[in-house]
Structure 1
Amino acid sequence: MLPAVAAQAITHYTQPGDLVLDPMCGIGTTLIEALHQGRRAIGVEYEPHWVDVTQANLDLARRAGVDPDARAIHGDARQLATLLPPDLAGQVALVVTSPPYGPSTHGQVTVTPGGGVHKYHHLYGNTLDRGNLANIGHHRLLTGFTKILTHTAAFLRPGGHVVITLRPWREHAELIDLPAQITACGRAADLTPTERCVALLARIAQDDLVARGSFFQRDFIGKQRRAGLPLHLIAHEDLLVFQRTETPVRSFHPRGPSQHPTATARPLFSVDTQASELAGAAATGPQLGRAA
């Protein structure tokens, strides 16, 4: 979760004192950004290690002078109804979260002289843990995430929003349109799609986009190209915005915000004409670092 994405969503959809929820909070980015803007926050995380990291980040915020009206709960978000206090039902103003793309994370690295680069904390817990959504396969992930969104909707106040940040990803070199699939999950949870936005993961140069891929992403792309598969670095994340309404609307326009009257009056993220043109051009560009 990019901190700027969480911060923008919190600024746009909440007021000071509102409650923000992340049912898959990881290291607590959503919670910390909510606290820095005077909101209350609560998160749920499956893996004990990341709960400890979230708590450390909350302690750091306290030492920085932020009143940490926040709580991280260890548990499976598919059981959200039994994990969160029942008096929070209908009280959450905003949910900001992101599903796992598989068993791997960005992780951290160390460099050993003469031994190369080594990753650690780059996997979601024990790969044999079938209770972890990251380890159960793509289709079961969608089923589990739908269940999470269904439980989440019960805690949203009327008109409350859900912001999900995610991107297309590759499984065995096949590109999977995860944003479209998560949109279907939101519909199945009786949430109304209102916006589909773009957050650039690239610098806008004079006439180009310069993707900010990690060393490992660039290494992977380079190996695939040398093998004859013309892949590109991903230069954006999708942000899907849903709303809890009394009468869900079964229509969604993937190229722009819904015309439903409950949709927000202004876009969560605005992309100027130059950025839009560059994104379109980058989609077919041959250079490493351009978007697919």
Structure 2
Amino acid sequence: MNDNSWLLLEYEDPRYRIPTALRARDVRAARDIGWVEQMRPFVRHFSAPGGLVLDPFAGFGTTLLAAHLEGRRSIGIELDAARAALARERLQLQQADDARMLTGDLRNLRDRLPTIDLCLTSLPYFGAPAMPETSPQQLYGQLQYEPFLEQVHEIFRSLRDCMKPGGHVIVMAENLRLDGRFVPLAWDVARVLAGLFELREERVLLYRRIAKELAPGEWHSNRSHEYALIAEVRRETLDVAAAMALWHEIQAGGHAATLRGSLARRLAGDHGVVPADMDLKVDFDATKLQALLQFLVERGFALRCWQRPLRLPVDLEALRERDYIRAERLDRDGRRLVVDVGWT
């Protein structure tokens, strides 16, 4: 892989396509299957020979086949049992004995997984036609966008426990057009990943498709590109000086907060601790919490809870069981400061 920000996909090897007989047995005619050629460069570049690749939305096993062809072991997870069975047949036909296909949900299977070197997947798209019996546990079964994104967040949060430090999470995603409306799915998923891992880069994947001229004022495109979002599994270190300056401001403002967590331990003398964020605890008091959140917003922080953006005033009772709100500020020099405001 070179440093071009794009990857042009021009040729799909017929040897690695899903066989016609298997495609015919799928109730959805095996629609929207990615190319093996789409996945191979990422497998090759972001994992070592013999490494373990995971696809948590494995579908018909395309990522697993790409891993096999590059000499890597792989595990796929697919919630649709019929689709998983077809994927196993496809992999058997390719003699991919180093690929293992599991039926289920990553959130329930994570304790059974070994340490993963690379997570590489294509995200199921919101708004894709679903069968009437599709489970709401499946992303295709979500009827509203915000619950869809929240479910994506839950799945990748579960993934964190399985990943090797320094490993990579790469997600293929496309912005959508639904009923004439532009839906920034790829960019919203990037924000989800950035809240869990360190978002590093992107590649724009390009496909050659027949183009037609648009009449003046027409705006739709042929959707001939998607994004590969590249994140690294690592704890981002906290800018302690910036955090302490903010803490002194909070104290001077009279906010009844207590400093907890790794930063508090470091200040207490444990210099082996490398803090990643600033952890504050406050009483669950609507007035005090709203005042502290207002203070942070005025200093350039954005508020989120489980990746859902929040606006002031916050409905705290609706979030009480979520335990904390994350405040995040990104400065123009690239420095990021994260404050978790929790309650007791």
TM over 0.5, yes or no?
Answer: yes
* Counterpart in the other structure of 1:72: 101
Distance 1:56 1:251 in 2: 48
Does the CA contact (< 8 Å) of 2:175 and 2:187 recur in 1? no
Does the CA contact (< 8 Å) of 1:24 and 1:43 recur in 2? yes
Answering whether residue 117 of structure 2 is matched by residue 93 of structure 1, we say yes
* Counterpart in the other structure of 1:236: 225
Distance 1:70 1:143, change over 3 A: same
Does the CA contact (< 8 Å) of 1:103 and 1:127 recur in 2? no
Distance 2:206 2:46 in 1: 20
The structure 1 segments of at least 4 consecutive aligned residues displaced by more than 6 Å after TM superposition are 248-252
Distance 2:329 2:43 in 1: 25
Distance 2:40 2:82 in 1: 24
* Counterpart in the other structure of 1:164: 171
* Counterpart in the other structure of 2:205: 199
Structure 1, unmatched stretches of 5+, are 105-122, 203-210, 253-257, 261-292
**How much has 1:127 moved relative to structure 2?**
4.9
* Counterpart in the other structure of 2:307: none
* Counterpart in the other structure of 2:85: 52
Distance 1:139 1:212, change over 3 A: farther
Look up the equivalent residue of 1:39 and give its one-letter code. R
**How much has 1:229 moved relative to structure 2?**
5.5
- Across the aligned residues of Structure 1 and Structure 2, the Cα RMSD in angstroms comes to 2.8
**How much has 1:230 moved relative to structure 2?**
3.5
- The equivalent position to 2:180 in structure 1, one of 168, 173, 180, is 173
- The equivalent position to 1:14 in structure 2, one of 47, 55, 67, is 47
Does the CA contact (< 8 Å) of 2:84 and 2:103 recur in 1? yes
Answering whether residue 110 of structure 2 is matched by residue 81 of structure 1, we say yes
- Bigger relative CO (Cα 8 Å, ≥ 6 apart): 1
Distance 1:259 1:3 in 2: 37
Distance 1:212 1:80 in 2: 42
Identity of aligned residues (%): 24
SS at match of 1:232: coil
**How much has 1:78 moved relative to structure 2?**
3.3
Distance 2:335 2:155 in 1: 26
**How much has 1:183 moved relative to structure 2?**
1.0
SS at match of 2:126: coil
Choose 1 or 2 for highest CA Rg: 2
Task: Provide Cα deviations, 1:253-275, integer angstroms capped at 9, x if missing partner.
Answer: xxxxx999xxxxxxxxxxxxxxx
Task: Provide Cα deviations, 1:97-124, integer angstroms capped at 9, x if missing partner.
Answer: 12211353xxxxxxxxxxxxxxxxxx54
Task: Provide Cα deviations, 1:198-222, integer angstroms capped at 9, x if missing partner.
Answer: 11112xxxxxxxx258xxxx9xxx9
* Counterpart in the other structure of 2:61: 28
Does the CA contact (< 8 Å) of 2:134 and 2:140 recur in 1? no
Distance 1:155 1:130, change over 3 A: same
What aligned pairs does 1:126-165 form with structure 2 within 5 A after superposition?
A: 126-127=132-133, 129-136=135-142, 137-165=144-172
Q: TM-score normalized by structure 1?
A: 0.65
Distance 1:163 1:246 in 2: 17
Look up the equivalent residue of 1:199 and give its one-letter code. L
Distance 2:156 2:135 in 1: 22
* Counterpart in the other structure of 1:39: 72
**How much has 1:138 moved relative to structure 2?**
1.6
**How much has 1:4 moved relative to structure 2?**
1.6
Distance 1:164 1:212 in 2: 26
SS at match of 1:96: strand
Distance 1:46 1:185 in 2: 21
Residue correspondences, number: 210
SS at match of 2:94: helix
* Counterpart in the other structure of 2:192: 185
**How much has 1:152 moved relative to structure 2?**
1.1
Distance 2:61 2:110 in 1: 20
Distance 1:251 1:157 in 2: 27
Does the CA contact (< 8 Å) of 1:43 and 1:71 recur in 2? yes
Does the CA contact (< 8 Å) of 2:197 and 2:235 recur in 1? no
Does the CA contact (< 8 Å) of 2:202 and 2:227 recur in 1? yes
Q: TM-score normalized by structure 2?
A: 0.55
Structure 2, unmatched stretches of 5+, are 1-33, 239-327, 337-344
SS at match of 1:5: helix
Distance 2:189 2:329 in 1: 15
* Counterpart in the other structure of 2:263: none
Task: Provide Cα deviations, 1:228-279, integer angstroms capped at 9, x if missing partner.
Answer: 8641211211110000013268899xxxxx999xxxxxxxxxxxxxxxxxxx
Distance 1:76 1:124 in 2: 18
Look up the equivalent residue of 2:92 and give its one-letter code. D
**How much has 1:182 moved relative to structure 2?**
0.4
**How much has 1:33 moved relative to structure 2?**
0.7
Distance 2:171 2:329 in 1: 18
